[in-house]
Structure 1
Amino acid sequence: MANSHIKTRLVVFDWAGTTIDFGSRAPAAAFAEVFAANGVSVTDSEARGPMGLNKREHLIAMLNDPSIAERWEKRYGRSWTEEDVDRMYDSFVPVQLEAIQRHAGLVPGLLDVVKELRQQGIKIVGTTGYFDAAAHAVLQSACQAGYVPDANICADDVPQGRPAPWMIYRAMEATGVFPASSVIKVGDTVADIQAGVAAGCWSIGVCDSSSLVGLSERQFQSLSTAEQIDRVDQAAEAFRSAGAHATIRSLCDLPGLIQRISNATTAEPHVLDGRAVLA
């Protein structure tokens, strides 16, 4: 049977944890700081739990976590309110912007990957759960470092952020690319994977720099080979459970995966094989 694949024409990247900010430290640090300022301590894992959502929805998801809610009630003698959300979100915005400045470095290998995709005529769009000012800040920093996507879509640009597919559809609209089977969504959170699946495009999880691993590049490289493999495999399994069609250890593996997709026997997105991580 002839290969009926439609050539990949667009890659939709997430920002923090995928193309910048190895380990997605800026959002997690900002949420932890805001909760601490309100007298409620949260763990790094708790701060990362809802990662990928619109940042206001992320804040609400944290407040709804039973353990955090219990600590909140112990601190204030009541449940949280919408007024609390408004106040905390208002304080979160400048904290997040400051954190971005400290964690805006490009993920290793990104520029080489982008160059290879460009040579294949593939469009590139950035999407993010960041609010507009934060999305502008990461774009500005990335452009200065040499990474210039064709468009940048944030949660404020659509009716609902991830896991809804609207940012991916907006990226397709902005670049004039369709159908969805010619689009690859690459992200580092479960919400990224869910959004890609909902959009009907190829949905790929990147592991080593991901929020699920949650380590800086230096911290990750300091692990033993066995520890690195274990952390990467755990992230990959979470992505697979969320519906990912494939996972890659690092962003550098994306061009090879795109070649595998181009050789697939069917155009429609599907799980490529049963392995946790494709290299």
Structure 2
Amino acid sequence: MVKKLNPKDIRLVVLDMAGTTVADGGLVERAFEAAARHLGADPADMIGHVRATMGESKISVFRHLFGDEAKAQQANKAFEAAYAELVDGGSVEALPGARETIEELKAQGRTVVLTTGFARTTQDAILAALGWQDLVPLTLCPADAGGRGRPYPDMVLTAFLRTAAAEGVGQVAVVGDTSYDMLSGVRAGAGLVAGVLTGAHDTEALRSAGATHVLDSVAQLPGVLT
């Protein structure tokens, strides 16, 4: 008989960044637009797919949009450069209560890992802009998990293996703002998969993708786990 999860048993919390713990003021769409123009494409033809696939690895999105590996790589580099420039402009900030939530989860004895669909250089730029370089013991991007980002479970499972914080995947919580975050948590077998309404997708999309909980913001998470 499978034991029902007690939220207090969660030992590892895998948190998304943009839209979940980080507010970037629409920089993702602006950087995508810059990348599209760099390749001579019309951003208006692509923005719908970009919005629908928020949370997915950015190189995967470009592969779908351009259908050519060389063009996808060029677009991804242009995206990363544009996003880094926008980050340097001071447009990134922590969502209300995000840092406090992470610190409270740590105080509860849980391990927190931050994940993203961005490349490592972009993730590091965001962490530096927020002063979060030492906030958590591990941060992951798709390249750190073999190259596959969401909706694959690879980053969640990499966090599970590298931290050794949980005895099984049932003691893992995955939290994000997109359906791709929810799918990655479900596919990893996470015991708790929570969607937050501070980012890209609404309650219906999050529930349809497997969310066990839908929260107004990540600030509600410590209460759910206690």
TM-score in same-fold range (> 0.5): yes
Does 2:219 correspond to 1:247? Answer: no
How many Å separate the matches in 2 of 1:175 and 1:165?
16
Alignment of 1:189 onto 2:155: no
Map residues 133-152 of structure 1 onto 2, 5 A cutoff.
133-142=121-130, 144=131, 148-152=135-139
Residue 3 to residue 85, structure 1, CA distance change in 2 (3 Å): closer
Q: Give the match for residue 77 of structure 2.
A: 90
Q: TM-score, normalised by structure 2?
A: 0.86
Deviations 1:122-148, CA, capped at 9 Å, x for gaps: 111001111111121122223x26871
1:206 correspondence with 2:208? no
Q: 1:176 to 1:16 in 2, by over 3 A?
A: same
Query: 1:104 Cα deviation (Å)?
Result: 2.1
Task: Indicate conservation of the 8 Å contact 1:190/1:238, yes or no.
Answer: yes
Note if 1:15 corresponds to 2:17.
yes
- Judged with a 3 Å threshold, the aligned counterparts in structure 2 of structure 1 residues 39 and 162 are, in CA distance, closer, same or farther, namely closer
TM-score scaled to structure 1, two decimals?
Answer: 0.71
CA–CA distance in structure 2, aligned partners of residues 147 and 187 of structure 1: 21
Does the 8 Å contact 1:204/1:246 carry over to 2?
Answer: yes
Q: Is residue 62 from structure 1 mapped to residue 62 from structure 2 by the alignment?
A: no
Say whether 1:117 aligns with 2:105: yes
RMSD of equivalent CA atoms: 2.2
TM-aligned CA deviation for residue 203 of structure 1: 1.1
CA drift of 1:4 comes to: 6.8
Question: In the alignment, does 2:128 pair up with 1:126?
Answer: no
Over 6 Å off, 4+ runs = none
Structure 2 residue aligned with 1:173? 161
Structure 2 residue runs of 5 or longer lacking an equivalent are none
SS of the aligned residue for 2:73 comes to helix
Residue identity (%): 29
Letter in 2 for 1:140: A
> Which residue of 1 is the match for residue 203 of structure 2?
236
Q: Which of these two proteins has the greater Rg computed from alpha carbons?
A: 1
Task: Work out the CA distance in 1 between the residues paired with 2:15 and 2:113.
Answer: 6
* 1:22 positional shift: 5.3
Deviation at 1:98, TM superposition (A): 1.6
CA distance in structure 2 between the partners assigned to 1:22 and 1:94 by the alignment: 15
Q: In the TM superposition, what whole-angstrom CA distance separates every residue of 1:157-193 from its partner, at most 9, and x where no partner exists?
A: 1221111111111111222122111111001111110
Q: Please point out which of 148, 164, 169 is paired with 2:152.
A: 164
CA distance in 2, matches of 1:4, 1:32: 43
Q: CA separation of 1:147/1:112 partners in 2, compared to 1, >3 Å: closer, same or farther? A: farther
Range 31-40 or range 152-161, more displaced:
31-40
Instruction: Mark the runs of 5 or more structure 1 residues left unpaired by the alignment.
Output: 64-79, 213-234, 260-279
Indicate how the Cα distance of structure 1 residues 172 and 61 shifts in structure 2: closer, same or farther if over 3 A, else same: same
SS at match of 1:203: strand
What's the CA shift string for 1:97-136, capped at 9, x where partnerless? 1233343200101122123212211111001111111121
* Alpha-carbon offset, residue 250 of structure 1: 1.2
> Match for 1:203: what amino acid?
V
When residues 175 and 83 of structure 1 are mapped into structure 2, their CA distance, relative to the original with a 3 A threshold, is: closer
Q: Structure 2 vs 1, CA of residues 147 and 14 (structure 1 numbering), >3 Å: closer, same or farther?
A: farther
SS in 2 for 1:126: strand
Q: How many residues align?
A: 217
Contact 1:31 1:59 in 2 (8 A): no
